[in-house]
Amino acid sequence: MGKITGFQEYDRKMPDKLSPAERVKNYNEFESLYSDEELNKQSARCMDCGIPFCHSGCPLGNIIPEFNDAVYHQKWEEAYQILASTNNFPEFTGRICPAPCESACVLGIHRPPVAIEEIEKHIIEIAYQKNLVKPVAPLVKTGKKIAVVGSGPAGLAAAAQLSKAGHEVTLYERDDKIGGLLRYGIPDFKMEKWIIDRRMEVMEKDGVIFKTNTEIGKDIAADELVRTNDAVVLTGGSTIPRDLPIPGRELKGIHFAMDFLKQQNKRVGNSKFTDEDILATGKDVVVIGGGDTGSDCVGTSNRQGASSIKQFEVMFQPPEKRTAHMPWPTYPMVLKITSSHEEGVDRYWGVNTKEFLGDADGNLRALRVTDVSWEVDVMGRPMKFNEVEGSEREIPCQRVFLAMGFLNPQYVGMLKSLGVELDARKNVNAKEGVYRTNVSKVFAAGDMRRGQSLVVWAISEGRECARKVDEFLMGHSVLESKDSVNQFDQVFDS
């Protein structure tokens, strides 16, 4: 424990951010780092609980009290080794994770929780500064060849772990650059893309081969990939967006959120695209969907110079604090105000969009909406909604971004060619803890297997799947399980 009375002496403090008026002028990250003194104070707030629930709150099983202690004592190599033992990419999760570990922090029962996510980001950035992030693959290889399809967080994690086990790994990506959702789904103002490139350099030194502009099932036959590799890992993500098939859906100006975000990320990254420009500049924008993707559309629309921005959510407004139905240490569904919301947006809850309205030229001009009230069960969970009588109205807009989540992976192409079985939700059928599909030598992980989820879950899935592939190929695995929370003791005995 860094400091016995630290949690009593110091309040939670987050790093300074540029003002909304300044940060919307570009797509750069806008959050500063802690001073050395403040980082020491924030790590001192960790209580080193007898039962650290943050371990179970984190899908990766990060060993949080121990790395907080190392940070407090400025043992940077130890802090990095502890963190890297469970998390391949703290530079990603330290920026874009919703931090379920903090929701499970024991200190959070009666005070603001430890700033775990920020401390994690600082550990990895200091590790890079001190040249502690180095290749880890063994010199002696196994001779086994593995293809990983999809370079999002699950694919990157699987590739990194399999390379660490000594296998020859080739990572395939159908887009022009590596990163998947990290590259083209998350705006640069949340995570600049040199961060991915920096990690790629380390993985290349570990022997991972990256192949872009290569779509399996099109550029390379799916059965050929299986035939020429000892194992194949599918990590293509959940890419089919949820649509809103109401009257007027064909009007110009209605776009899926990911099409909008991906195009802007390509624009920022100087990557070519052939589709017509999707821009919010000078438009009245409505974002339908209240989650993180919708928030990213808000931030991007502000930077493009939208005239006005509204965000609609059909659900009721969440409470600001935990309720009796959200007991600690569960992840609470409370009101979230993101940095993009701070930059300017009008948020509405309990709004149902019934029709898109157009002008004579087929362009979107407005939405027809109604307010709704929800019936809930005894646990406060929504059951059905009813329209509020007399609430129907038109909302003028020229751009709508649909940010209502994703349904399942793309089946036509690779999955269909392989003959991979799907589950009831149309995700790849590969049970957790096994990760094997019905096709010999083919495994699956990430959103493609579990459905739309968090980046931290994708990394966890990639790691766990890699361990099962290693067992499949070698009879046993040298890779750690997320349940092995004391493996850092093998590196540092201090």
Res 95: pLDDT: 97
Distance CA 397, CA 311 (A): 12
**Residue 441 pLDDT > 90:** yes
CB 340 within 8 A of CB 294: no
Query: For the residues 145-164, what does the mean pLDDT come to?
Result: 98
**Which of 339, 336, 353, 335 is CA-nearest to residue 286?**
353
Residue 381, CB-side half-sphere exposure with 13 Å CA sphere: 2
- % the chain with pLDDT above 90: 93
CB 236 within 8 A of CB 410: yes
> ∠379-381-383 over CA atoms, to 5°?
125
Res 225: pLDDT: 98
Distance CA 446, CA 452 (A): 8
Q: H-type helices in 269-413, by residue range?
A: 292-304, 339-342
Band (20; pLDDT cuts 50, 70, 90)? very high
Res 486: pLDDT: 44
Task: Compute the CA torsion angle 437, 443, 447, 448 (nearest 10 deg).
Answer: -50
Indicate the range of 88-92, 410-414, 486-490 predicted with least confidence: 486-490
Length of the chain: 494
Q: List % helix, strand, coil for the chain (3-state, nearest 5).
A: 35, 20, 50
Strand pairing class (284-288; 254-256):
unpaired
Strand pairing class (442-444; 254-256):
unpaired
Query: For the residues 186-195, what does the mean pLDDT come to?
Result: 98
Res 494: pLDDT: 38
Query: For the residues 176-185, what does the mean pLDDT come to?
Result: 96
Distance CA 210, CA 155 (A): 11
pLDDT digits (tens, 9 = 90+) for 40-71: 999 999 998 889 999 999 999 999 999 999 99
pLDDT digits (tens, 9 = 90+) for 368-395: 999 999 999 988 889 999 999 999 999 9
Distance CA 444, CA 452 (A): 14
Band (1; pLDDT cuts 50, 70, 90)? low
**Residue 485 pLDDT > 70:** no
Strand pairing class (168-172; 254-256):
unpaired
Coil, helix or strand at residue 168: strand
Burial 472-481 (b: 16+ CB within 10 A, else e): bbeeebebbe
CB 311 within 8 A of CB 298: yes
Tell the burial category of 325 from Cβ atoms under 10 Å away from its Cβ (0-12, 13-18, 19+): middle
Predicted TM-score (pTM) of the model is: 0.95
Indicate the range of 221-235, 289-303, 368-382, 389-403 predicted with least confidence: 368-382
Distance CA 462, CA 157 (A): 5
Coil, helix or strand at residue 123: helix
> For all residues of the chain together, what is the average pLDDT?
95
pLDDT digits (tens, 9 = 90+) for 448-476: 999 999 999 999 999 999 999 999 999 99
* Cross-strand pairs, 399: 285
140 versus 380: the higher-pLDDT residue is 140
Query: For the residues 18-46, what does the mean pLDDT come to?
Result: 98
Res 483: pLDDT: 65
